[in-house]
């Protein structure tokens, strides 16, 4: 009798035959990251072969210093997409936050007041987006489309539709640090990405976000209160847009109410290139980070190759669609 027990187990209807598929699933996350890294490396090599200047350190720090705004927004956007939402208002919220920062600095208040106020303004916008969308069950697409207009309007009101020059008052967070060439803003963005990825994978809240995106009804029936977990990514992406507003005004030493126009689309593109699902339930901050790097390398590379603007757009568009297509096809195969 004792011998028979294990035999029965291995003969269960879903033993050996399904193991390889399940194994593929298990490593799917790593394959995403490796695939993205290889693509980026290949891109760098091709562009570097055509234009050796592209491989210089200067070029690299220049790329690193252009992306912190997009990067922090992408962190929040990834989590919003994971719960099955979307935020189209990040660009406008970014402008609003930098306008708040600019106005407060103009009034002789220090960075210590202005920056938290700017980030808080972003978080409030995010809370409004999330609150309306969850509380009244309006698709976040619609609510944030409204915020896209409204926050931009507020930014114009605060700045009187003018670009406000700030000079040294805004501080040096976006300037390259002597010695390493990248800015504090980039390092902050990197740190936040790491924390967000850990939060997603290793905390109860993070697991709830993925679970809600996968099957919200099941999460509710398991006795979890869904709304706080669902609200969190919206508030986070708002705060991140606020942070991005600070980074961009520091980089430009000024506040421009047109700042961040269209950044929501770059952010969604980067997140999707990283393999996060627009339907929710699947995503990784690390992969989104690599998505941002891929887009940034491509853009600077095409500039370094003196490709004209129309072709730049065509190629970037093609790469976004191709990346998502590869991802979709691969997943379909592994099902």
Partner 1 sequence: MADEATARWSCRGLSKRFAAPVLRGIDLDLAPGEILALLGANGAGKSTLGRIVAGLLRADQGTMFLEGQPFAPRDKRHAERLGVHIVQQELNRIGTLDVAENLFLNRLPHRFGWIDRRKLEAQATAALEAVGLNDLPLDLPVGQLGIGERQLLEIAAALAQDCRLLILDEPTAALAPPQVSRLFERLAILRHRGTAMIYVSHRLDEIRRIADRVAILRDGVVTDSGAASAFDVERAVEAMSGRSAVPAGTTARPTSTPTSISMSTERLDDRFADRPMLLEVRRLQAPPRVRQVDLQVRAGEIVGLAGLVGSGRTETLRAIFGADRARQGSVRIAGRAKERPLRSPRAAVRAGLGMVPEDRRAEGLLLPASIIDNVTLGKTESGETSFGWLRFDRRRRAVTRAAERTDVRCRDVDQAVVDLSGGNQQKVLVSRWLRHDARVLLVDEPTRGIDVDAKRTLHRVLREWVGNDRGLVVVSSDLDELFELADTIVVMVEGRTVLSAPRRSVDARTLLERAIDVAEDENEREPQR
Whether 36 and 274 have beta carbons less than 8 Å apart is answered as yes
Phi, psi of 231 (to 5 degrees): -70, -35
Of 174-182, 198-206, 229-237, 262-270: span binding partner 1 (CB under 8 A): 198-206
When the beta carbons of 14 and 137 are compared against partner 1, the nearer one is 14
Structure tokens that stand for 125 in this block: 């916008």
Phi, then psi, of 162 in degrees rounded to 5: -110, 155
Angle of helix 226-252 versus helix 90-106 axis, rounded to 10:
60
Q: Does 328 bind partner 1 (CB under 8 A)?
A: no
198 forms part of the interface with partner 1 (CB under 8 A) = yes
53 lies in the site for partner 1, by CB under 8 A: no
Q: Does 109 bind partner 1 (CB under 8 A)?
A: no
Shortest Cβ 9–partner 1 spacing (Å): 7
Task: Select from 282, 292, 296, 299 the one that contacts partner 1 (CB under 8 A).
Answer: 282
- CA within 13 Å, CB half, 110: 1
Least distance to partner 1, CB of residue 118, Å = 28
User: Under the criterion CB under 8 A, does residue 310 sit at the interface with partner 1?
Assistant: no
Build a one-symbol-per-residue string for 4-33: x at contacts with partner 1 by CB under 8 A, - elsewhere. -----x--xxxx--xx-xx--xx-------
| Phi, psi at 11, each rounded to 5° | -90, 5
Would you count residue 136 as binding partner 1 (CB under 8 A)?
no
C-beta of 24 vs 35, nearer to partner 1 = 24
Nearest-angstrom CA–CA distance, 134 and 251:
35
**Least Cβ distance, residue 204 to partner 1 (angstroms):** 6
Other Cβ atoms less than 10 A from the Cβ of 258: the count is 14
Helix (H, G, I), strand (E, B) or coil at 312: helix
> Which two three-digit tokens encode residue 76?
């929040």
* CA–CA distance, 70 with 86 (Å, rounded to integer): 16
Q: Total binding residues for partner 1 by CB under 8 A?
A: 31
Which is closer to partner 1, CB of 153 or CB of 228?
228
Q: In the set 70, 134, 211, 290, which binds partner 1 (CB under 8 A)?
A: 211
Contact 189, 293 (CB under 8 A): no
Query: Site residues (CB under 8 A) for partner 1?
Result: 9, 12-15, 18-19, 21-22, 25-26, 198, 202-204, 207, 210-211, 214-215, 217-225, 281-282
């Amino acid at each position: 009798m004792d011998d028979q027990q294990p035999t029965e187990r291995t003969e269960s209807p879903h033993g050996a035959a399904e193991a390889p598929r399940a194994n593929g699933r298990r490593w799917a996350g790593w394959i995403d990251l490796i695939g993205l890294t290889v693509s980026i490396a290949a891109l760098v090599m091709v562009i570097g072969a055509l234009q050796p200047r592209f491989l210089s350190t200067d070029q690299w720090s220049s790329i690193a210093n252009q992306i912190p705004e997009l990067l922090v927004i992408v962190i929040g956007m990834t989590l919003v997409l994971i719960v099955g939402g979307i935020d189209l208002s990040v660009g406008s919220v970014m402008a609003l936050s930098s306008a708040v920062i600019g106005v407060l600095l103009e009034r002789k208040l220090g960075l210590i007041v202005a920056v938290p106020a700017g980030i808080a303004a972003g978080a409030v916008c995010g809370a409004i987006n999330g609150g309306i969308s969850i509380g009244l069950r309006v698709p976040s697409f619609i609510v944030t489309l409204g915020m896209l207009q409204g926050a931009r309007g507020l930014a114009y009101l605060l700045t009187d539709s003018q670009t406000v020059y700030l000079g040294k008052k805004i501080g040096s967070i976006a300037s390259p640090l002597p010695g390493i060439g990248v800015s504090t803003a980039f390092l902050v963005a990197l740190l936040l990405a790491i924390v967000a990825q850990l939060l997603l994978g290793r905390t109860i809240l993070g697991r709830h976000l993925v679970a809600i995106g996968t099957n919200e009804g099941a999460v509710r029936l398991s006795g979890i209160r869904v709304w706080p977990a669902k609200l969190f990514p919206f508030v986070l992406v708002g705060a991140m847009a606020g942070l991005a507003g600070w980074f961009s005004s520091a980089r430009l030493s000024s506040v421009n109410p047109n700042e961040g126009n269209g950044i929501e689309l770059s952010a969604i593109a980067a997140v999707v290139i990283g393999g996060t699902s627009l339907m929710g339930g699947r995503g990784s901050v690390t992969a989104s980070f690599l998505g941002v790097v891929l887009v940034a390398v491509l853009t600077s590379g095409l500039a370094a190759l003196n490709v004209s603007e129309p072709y730049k757009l065509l190629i970037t568009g093609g790469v976004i669609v191709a990346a998502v297509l590869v991802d979709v096809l691969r997943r379909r195969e592994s099902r």
